[in-house]
Amino acid sequence: MVETRKSPPREMDIVRPAAARIYDAFLGGGHNFGVERGFAERIEQALPGIGGCYQENRAFLRRTVEFLLARGVRQFLDLGSGIPTIGHLHEVARRRTRDFRVLYVDNEPLTVAHSKPLLADEPRADILQADCREPEAIFRSPEARELLDLRRPVGLLMTSVLHFIPDSDDPLGLVETYQDALVPGSHLVISHVTGTNAPEAVRVLADFYAETSDPLHPRETSWIDKLFGDFEILPPGTTNLADWRPDPGRPTSASDRYRLLYGGVARKSADALIPVQPVSGG
Ligand SMILES: C[S@@+](CC[C@H](N)C(=O)[O-])C[C@H]1O[C@@H](n2cnc3c(N)ncnc32)[C@H](O)[C@@H]1O
């Protein structure tokens, strides 16, 4: 595997808002500071109802994890996980099965510190402080060795993280490195901010994020499609997140209005399908 990057660990920064805690503030979580709550309020004033987009991202994550569980995926690598509260991956998984493993990865030190106690009672999940631009370090970590069996299919989640990776760090090559490390039957979930449908709103959003410790890099939907590489994109294809297998009776949300989050789910190699299994109770 190619070692893509080696950098010092991200330093703690509580002066500027951080993406993990901005997201937590919009989700109504309790792991954020005044600087993030104030920031969220200012964005909401500039883009009324924008909070719905953050909630839509978390709802997309839930639906995709349920989809992967139904396809037999039992181990998950969640890159740029944020703080695992408010319906995060392991909560979704344990509502459906006892048989799952989750490795969360985030590079923001306080996010990891806040997450550790939340996962203390869950032996099937852990969080690693690492930069997702360093796949080899992640796969070689004791946490990954403990939780993930790379001979078996993995559900790789890169939701709302790749728009924090600048072009200079080659996000396309990065995703490809992860894809190469996974066996057939593995699935890739991506959500990403796009300026294609709402360029003005996304420009405003990016201007706000320029003052955070996680500047935003919105991209065109045609570029985001390329992130899936040679994986097979599964129905309904790449879409506005709200349109990806929506819950029945879902009301129109802010994300329908802004249409700034885009993504989908893809699978490695059609000839090595894992059988669809009923999800056991538990
Ligand atoms: C908006 S949150 C997304 C949380 C979760 N993935 C979701 O979709 O619900 C983005 C997270 O990515 C993390 N992040 C940003 N750049 C990263 C990097 N290079 N490596 C690892 N995590 C990163 C941030 O710290 C933040 O917690």
C-alpha distances in Å from residue 185, one per residue of 223, 227, 269, 272, 275: 24, 18, 7, 6, 9
Q: Is 20 in the pocket of ligand 1 (CB under 6 A)?
A: yes
Q: Could you report the per-residue pLDDT of 168-187, keeping only the tens digit for each?
A: 999 999 999 999 999 999 99
pLDDT surpassing 80 at residue 98: yes
What percent of the chain shows pLDDT beyond 70?
91
Say if residue 276's pLDDT is above 60.
Answer: no
Q: Is 159 in the pocket of ligand 1 (CB under 6 A)?
A: yes
Ligand 1 atom showing the smallest separation from residue 88 Cα = 9
Q: For a pocket test of ligand 1, which of 39, 54, 107, 208 has the largest count of ligand atoms closer than 8 A to its C-beta?
A: 107
Distance CA 176, CA 270 (A): 17
Tell which residue, 159, 175, 155, has the closest CA to residue 61: 159
- Ligand 1 atom closest to Cα of 191? 8
Q: Is the CB of 23 under 6 A from ligand 1?
A: yes
Binding site membership of 213 for ligand 1 (Cβ less than 6 Å): no
Report the separation in Å between the CA atom of 234 and the middle of ligand 1, taken as the mean of its atom positions.
24
Q: pLDDT at position 2, please? A: 46
Q: Which CATH superfamily is domain 56-196+216-272 in?
A: Vaccinia Virus protein VP39 (3.40.50.150)
Q: Which amino acid is at 7?
A: S
Query: In terms of Cα–Cα distance, which of 161, 145, 171, 135 is closest to 75?
Result: 145
| DSSP SS3 for 10 | coil
> 180-208 as b/e, with b when 16 or more CB fall inside 10 Å?
ebbeebbbbbbbbbbbbebeebbeebbeb
Tell me the mean pLDDT in the region 238-252: 87
Q: What is the distance in A from the centroid of ligand 1 to the CA of 39?
A: 17
Atom of ligand 1 nearest to the CA of 157: 6
Query: Where are the domains positioned within the chain?
Result: 56-196+216-272
pLDDT digits (tens, 9 = 90+) for 125-144: 999 999 999 999 999 999 99
Pairwise pLDDT comparison (235 vs 250), residue with the higher score? 235
Tokens standing for residue 111: 């996010």
DSSP 246: P
Question: What is the pLDDT at residue 10?
Answer: 77
pLDDT in tens, 17-39: 999 999 999 999 999 999 999 99
Residue nearest to atom 9 of ligand 1 (CA): 58
Q: What is the mean pLDDT of the chain?
A: 91
Measured in whole angstroms, the distance separating CA 19 from the mean position of its chain's CA atoms is 12
Residue that is written with structure tokens 């839930």 in the block: 62
User: How many CB atoms sit inside 10 A of residue 253's CB?
Assistant: 18
**Could you give the CA distance from residue 47 to residue 43 in angstroms, rounded to a whole number?**
6
Please check whether residue 107 is in contact with residue 129, taking contact to mean a CB–CB distance below 8 angstroms. yes
Closest among 271, 260, 158 to 209, alpha carbons compared: 260
- What is the pLDDT at residue 282? 42
274 pLDDT above the threshold of 80: no
- Helices 109-119, 19-27: inter-axial angle, 10-degree rounding: 50
Residue percentage of the chain with pLDDT more than 90:
82
Q: Does the beta carbon of 56 sit less than 6 angstroms from any atom of ligand 1?
A: no
